[in-house]
Chain A
Amino acid sequence: MKYLVEPARARSLAISLALAIGCFALLSVVLYAAGAYVLVHSTFRFSRIAAGNIHVDVMVTGNSRARDLLYGNVTGSAPTVFNLAYNGLDRDRAFEWIKTYFLRGNTATTVVMETSSLYSKEAKCDSKPYWVLYPALYAAQRASCPVDAASARYFPLTQFDSEQFLRALYYFAWHPEGDQTWGDEGEIPKRLCAELPLDGVYAFRDFAASVDRALVRRQIAELKQWLASHGYQTRLVFVLAPFFADSRALPEIEQIEASNRELLAGETSLSLATALGADCSSFADAVHQSPEGRRRTFPLLFAKLGLAEP
């Protein structure tokens, strides 16, 4: 190779690269600190549990169906509720978040777990922004997220490339009141009501068949033992949230309920699957409740849990 290196230019290049490395280091530190600050001070649900000052009657977890099951009501009249559900939250992650919630000093007399998330197959790594905040969560997740864990170790800023971080940022910057009223806002339009696509309901047909029942039972037993060993008198209740119970969906719903009965034998398990019927105003789509649906679900669920309606 020929070398066309003029000493002045070589020096200039070396200085430029040294400056670039310095800027990179400075920017990395500043951004990392800023990201951590956002995570700690955000009012997003996963950030909020860090302070350890949540003491409620009911804590709800699960996927988006659990998110739409109940609004949170942390400081209002009893019974109080904290919603820790998140879009697509799978079984493994739900169990890990329950433990994280309690490890941070928060309490709940009843933990409601929506049963759709029990049927999930793959664990996701979208909680990675919170690894920096919750070491136990990192310890639980790093084995199932080896690439993300390695990236986070050597390139810490990669942790912030997650929808959960963007949500934390959103609530930090624009909604200091918190995210406990987050849920589907729409309703099924009347014109679609009779012919609403029910793919969301049908999706559970395969999940029920593919779930590892022995594993789920073991995980439930471990969680109950963990809660007891840490001194929490917490009741674990499994709830099947309402579906758009159109006559076409009834066979599927019965199948899901039958599967739940077998899977959760011996556990406290409730089904609200058909509680709202096929009322369009109560659903945002076939598997998610609308605000009206949530309003109707409150008394039903609290009555079944033996708690007064808020």
Chain B
Amino acid sequence: MSFTAPVFFLFFLVYFVASFLVSRRYWLLLAAVASSYFYAFWDWRFLFLLYYVVAVSWFVGRKLYSTSSEPIRKRYVALSVVSCLGVLAVFKYFDFFISSFTQMTAAFGLQLQPRVAQIVLPIGISFYTFHALSYTIDLYRRKLQRPAGFLSLIVYLAYFPQLVSGPIVRANRFLPQIDRGPVFSTRKVKTGLLIIAWGYFLKVCVADSIPGLIDPIFAAPVDYQSGNLLFAIVAYSFQIYCDFSGYSLIAIGLAKLQGFDFPANFLAPYFSRSFSEFWRRWNISLSSFLRDYLYIPLGGNRHGRWREDRNIMITMFLGGLWHGASYNFIVWGLLHGVYLVLQRLWGLAFGVVRLPAPAGAALSGPVPRAAGMRAPVLRGPARWALSGLQVAGVYALVLLAWVFFRLQSFSDAIGYLQGIARLQALGVINNKFSAVKVVVLIAVTIAVDLVFIRRRNVVRLLNSRVAYAVAIALLAVLIEMFGSFGGGAFIYFQF
């Protein structure tokens, strides 16, 4: 069931009203059943896989709690990690590994013809396995004081707003809220409605109006001029941003209606002035998960520069692979790894020009200071000019990486980049009027990002009755005019 399918609205309404009527104990059952139904709507058979992950996590959680012996605890957490990653390996990566192995042996003259299982990728598998890992590892690290009950764990792993595409909410953050149960708070309802409206606008108005315009270009890039290729990749960068952040916002808003607080997942990422800032603004829940459960356990930046670079590359490689069993995602991840390493080396070699804290830093958390030489803090026009250059430079390189993410093969991506490098002007656009509509909607997105990147503007909007009403009404009208509610899939469903 997609958030954009008409049936979802009925489903949520029934669930939301029922939440009011039952006690906390029965709410757990209601949420578990509703989430299972939501998931089974796609394919009920994968419920068994979901429950398998829940059962393993529940069992490991209880064992971790009941024993204080470190070696035994280590064994149990290893069991959980192997089980979760095993599920991922089989259902997400098995065919990829087999075909890669076949290609490798073929390079050495050994022609193997293994049977490829054609395993169907269960929706949301990457998200609920990561939730399960967060639960057992937090228990192992004693960030969680006690294990969750079985129903609580089902709700934590399968809570329908974030089951399919996140955001990944840490166990130590969400489980206490589940134990407390839903809370009806007028302030949160007000905030939640605004977040949901903005999320739907991004998804059904902006993201869904872009593919019709750019998919033909990606299907046959040789037929198009450089300007069209550039336009298509810029539009794609907003398609994926609006699609994924739209989903996250709807999930966050739906949770907020019930009084649950989920962390923000996107914070105007295309206004980042460095790649490290980009990753603090893009898919924040995944990047912080990878940082805390992979990069830091690998050693982080504690064992010298070479080890730090290696750890960055491993983290970004696996981050790329997490998106899908395909080389293009790996190249995308590695490219971002290279950006981060080069940025660090640049800072070491030439120093870091310091600017006042970036807008939105209050929301995204403190920005770590780069190591290396200190340069004077820039202010005034020089600050704006440098900020603009940095934002443009980071965005251009992020676009370059999106080419590898979007195109199916490395050679296609190289061909696409060669097409852009021909530096031709914009050629004929078949749907000029649709293109204008898309450009206007993207401009609205950018403008809103620019305004609400500052937390105080969000607070002002929520505190002003008239401004809030006008904002909700405007979004509702735009959604009515330009939205399509055919239940179309979100891009991140495939991950």
A residues apposed to B, CB below 8 Å: 1-6, 9-10, 12-13, 15-17, 19-24, 26-28, 31, 147, 155, 157-158, 160-161, 163, 166-167, 170, 186
Contacts and interface: CB of A to CB of B under 8 A. Distances in A.
Contacts of A23: 469-470, 472-474
Interface string B432-448: 01101100000000000
Given A13-B189, A20-B472, A163-B433, A1 B481 contact: no
B304 to A, nearest CB: 50
B184 interface: yes
A2 B481 CA distance: 37
Contacts of A3: 183-184
A252 B472 CA distance: 56
B177 to A, nearest CB: 12
Contact of A12 (B19, B186, B258): B186
Contacts of B437: 166
B185 interface: yes
Given A2-B182, A16-B190, A16-B468, 15 more contacts: A1-B20, A1-B183, A2-B183, A13-B190, A17-B193, A17-B469, A17-B472, A23-B472, A24-B476, A155-B480, A157-B480, A161-B482, A163-B433, A166-B437, A170-B433
Nearest to B466: A19
13 contacts: A2-B183, A2-B259, A5-B186, A9-B186, A13-B186, A20-B472, A21-B473, A28-B477, A157-B481, A158-B481, A161-B481, A163-B431, A166-B434
B356 to A, nearest CB: 34
Nearest to A169: B433
Contacts of B476: 20, 24
Contacts of A186: 428
Given A2-B182, A9-B187, A22 B469 contact: yes
Dominant secondary structure of chain A at its interface with chain B: helix
Contacts of A12: 186, 465
A10 B477 contact: no
A167 B183 contact: no
A253 B474 CA distance: 52
Contacts of A160: 481
Contacts of A1: 19-20, 22, 24, 27, 181-184, 258
Contacts of A24: 472-473, 476-477
A9 B428 CA distance: 54
B480 A28 contact: yes
A20 B471 CA distance: 8
B117 to A, nearest CB: 36
Contacts, number: 96
A26 B476 CA distance: 12
Interface centre among B22, B24, B185, B481 (most CB of A within 10 A): B481
Contacts of B20: 1
A2 B184 contact: yes
Nearest to A26: B473
B434 A163 contact: yes
B31 to A, nearest CB: 11
A15 B464 CA distance: 11
A10 B428 CA distance: 54
Nearest to B27: A1
Given A19-B466, A19-B469, A23-B473, A4 B184 contact: yes
Contacts of A157: 477, 480-481
Contacts of B472: 16-17, 20, 23-24
Contacts of B482: 161
The 4 closest A-B pairs by CB, nearest first: A23-B473, A19-B469, A166-B433, A20-B472
Nearest to A6: B186
B181 A2 contact: yes
Interface in B476-495: 476-477, 480-482, 486
B74 to A, nearest CB: 39
Interface in B186-210: 186-187, 189-190, 193
Given A4-B185, A20-B473, A31 B465 contact: no
B475 to A, nearest CB: 9
Interface in B203-254: none
A60 to B, nearest CB: 22
A10 B189 CA distance: 10
Nearest to B481: A157
B477 A27 contact: yes
Contact of B480 (A21, A26, A158, A166): A158
Contacts of B428: 186
B436 to A, nearest CB: 7
Nearest to B193: A17
Nearest to B20: A1
Given A23-B470, A23-B473, A4 B259 contact: yes
Contacts of A13: 186-187, 189-190
Contacts of B433: 163, 166-167, 170
A7 to B, nearest CB: 10
A6 B433 CA distance: 49
Contacts of B185: 4-5
Nearest to A22: B469
A157 B476 CA distance: 11
Nearest to B473: A23
B481 A31 contact: yes
B484 to A, nearest CB: 8
B19 A166 contact: no
Interface centre among B19, B181, B431, B468 (most CB of A within 10 A): B468
Contacts of B466: 19
B309 to A, nearest CB: 48
A15 B186 CA distance: 12
A2 B431 CA distance: 52
Contacts of B189: 13
